[in-house]
């Protein structure tokens, strides 16, 4: 990827360190203005990181995660008005990026759609209004009400915060008696490192538990028209906390089921009035019907963009940025191979040793092995995506080969804790 961008042409609002490093070899020098929360800049040494990234021209401190004052920002930073595209770098920046793009007359999700997909309850209401399948759900402010909901739905329920990502605060409970003890984890979920310490407002959604495999749909949309669609197979940790443990592109589902998922995601995008960007939705096919789990109006995490680029032999992020610039890039209609990622899950404790990395790298098709822990690190229970210990990324001739190679490579790595 080498976009034709000039100084300060791209505004990225909020960004994980990992996402920023995707662009090291691909974006021209000084082409990006990074907008970030003042306390996040200080706490995560964002200024120091930006000095190491030639494509970042400057960092602008702005409070945006609890509501962006676009007029005040542009009055203080008038140079931003010359930008050619705006993108959210993380979940908590989706609304701010959409509002800034609207104010500058640039392509984006649209403020209304961004707000819907930043709030899981509003998303549920929209899906129901559009005639899409939802699990039963209720917005609750009392654990007793949630427990009563569980009793009405077979004794099980899902508790989730309305405004978090990465499975933070999401719990599957199998007994109404568990709700009271589990309530605080969802009602006051852990704050992720890229969130402001002012506090992100959230509420509690209780939902019916759906049985079945999870899949995601990634749509690239240009001015309301879907120009690319993909279905991803997901692997999820069993038990109380459904953290994602792996993904495969393309999906191994039958073609007709994939078309149903793509159609449902398209209907959701149209119902929200989503204009331009990537829409990443998650579904379970229950009784043959695609049933909505969640949806985000941003690039997917967990290496899914890399999987799409590998399986389709395309530059998916480049296509996304070109779309935000008002272009209509042409992507392959079908994949030419397969790609998979498997995440490494360590037993809680202190890491005492890591073995098998060389063996994992020797597995046919392995492109990358990344460890996010080292000896001496403390590993906790895997309650969210940030608690995983690394990943292996592979390609294969098809999805089956890629999935098998990812599992084999992950099996070679032993993270010992004590």
Domain 210-336 has CATH 3.30.470.20: yes
Structure tokens at 133: 């399948």
Contact 20, 45 (CB under 8 A): no
Percent of the chain with pLDDT over 90: 92
Domain 136-207 has CATH 3.30.1490.20: yes
Instruction: Give CATH 3.30.1490.20 domain extents, the chain.
Output: 136-207
Q: So what CATH class is 10-106?
A: alpha beta
Q: For 101-126, write each residue's pLDDT tens digit.
A: 999 999 999 999 999 999 999 999 99
pLDDT-based confidence at residue 329 (cuts at 50, 70, 90) = very high
Model pTM score: 0.95
- Residue 260, Cβ neighbours under 10 Å: how many? 18
Instruction: Give CATH 3.30.470.20 domain extents, the chain.
Output: 210-336, 337-418
Three-state SS for 100?
helix
Instruction: Give CATH 3.40.50 domain extents, the chain.
Output: 10-106
CA dihedral 313, 316, 322, 324 (to 10 degrees): 160
Q: For 365-393, write each residue's pLDDT tens digit.
A: 999 999 999 999 999 999 999 999 999 99
Mean pLDDT of 271-286: 98
Fold of 337-418: D-amino Acid Aminotransferase; Chain A, domain 1 (3.30.470)
Instruction: List residues bridging with 291 in a β-sheet.
Output: 133, 284
Predicted confidence at residue 23, as pLDDT, reads 85
Please provide residue 48's backbone torsions phi and psi, each rounded to the nearest 5 degrees: -65, -40
CA–chain centroid gap for 233, Å, is 15
Residue 133's contacts (CB-CB under 8 Å, 6 or more residues apart) are: 127, 264, 286, 289, 290, 291, 292
Structure tokens at 327: 């272009």
Q: Average per-residue pLDDT in the chain?
A: 96
Predicted confidence at residue 166, as pLDDT, reads 85
**Through-space distance between the first and last CA atoms of the chain, rounded to whole angstroms:** 44
């Amino acid at each position: 990827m080498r976009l034709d961008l000039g100084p300060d042409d791209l505004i990225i609002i909020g960004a994980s360190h990992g996402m920023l490093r995707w662009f090291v070899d691909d974006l021209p020098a000084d082409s990006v203005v990074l907008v970030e929360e003042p306390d996040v800049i200080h706490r995560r040494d964002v200024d120091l990181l930006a000095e190491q990234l030639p494509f970042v021209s400057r960092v602008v401190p702005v409070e945006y995660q609890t509501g962006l004052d676009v007029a005040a920002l542009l009055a203080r930073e008038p140079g931003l008005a010359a930008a050619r595209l705006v993108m959210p770098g993380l979940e908590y920046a989706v609304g701010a990026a959409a509002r800034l793009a609207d104010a500058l007359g640039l392509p984006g999700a649209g403020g209304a759609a961004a707000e819907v997909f930043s709030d899981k309850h509003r998303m549920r209401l929209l899906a129901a209004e559009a005639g899409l399948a939802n699990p039963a759900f209720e917005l609750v402010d009392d654990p007793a009400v949630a427990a009563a909901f569980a009793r009405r739905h077979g004794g099980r329920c899902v508790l989730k915060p309305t405004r978090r990502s990465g499975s933070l605060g999401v719990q599957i409970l199998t007994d109404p008696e568990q709700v009271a003890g589990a309530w605080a984890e969802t009602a006051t979920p852990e704050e992720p490192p890229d969130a402001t310490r002012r506090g992100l407002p959230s509420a509690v959604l209780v939902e019916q538990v759906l049985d079945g495999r999870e899949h995601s749909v990634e749509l690239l949309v240009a001015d309301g028209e879907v120009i690319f669609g993909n279905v991803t197979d997901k692997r999820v940790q069993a038990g109380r906390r459904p953290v994602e443990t792996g993904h495969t592109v393309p999906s191994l589902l039958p073609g007709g089921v994939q078309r149903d998922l793509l159609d449902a995601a398209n209907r959701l995008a149209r119902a929200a009035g989503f204009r331009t960007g990537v829409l990443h939705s998650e579904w379970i096919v229950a009784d043959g019907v695609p049933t909505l789990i969640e949806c985000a109006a941003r690039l997917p995490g967990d290496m899914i963009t890399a999987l799409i680029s590998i399986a389709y032999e395309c530059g998916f992020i480049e296509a996304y940025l070109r779309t935000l610039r008002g272009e209509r890039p042409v992507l392959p209609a079908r994949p030419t191979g397969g790609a998979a990622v498997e995440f490494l899950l360590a037993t809680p404790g202190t890491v005492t040793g890591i073995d098998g990395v060389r063996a994992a790298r020797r597995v046919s098709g392995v492109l990358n092995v990344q460890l996010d822990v080292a000896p001496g690190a403390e590993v906790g229970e895997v309650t969210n995506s940030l608690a995983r210990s690394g990943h292996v990324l592979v390609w294969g001739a098809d999805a089956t080969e890629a999935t098998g190679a990812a599992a084999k490579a992950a099996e070679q790595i032993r993270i010992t804790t004590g």
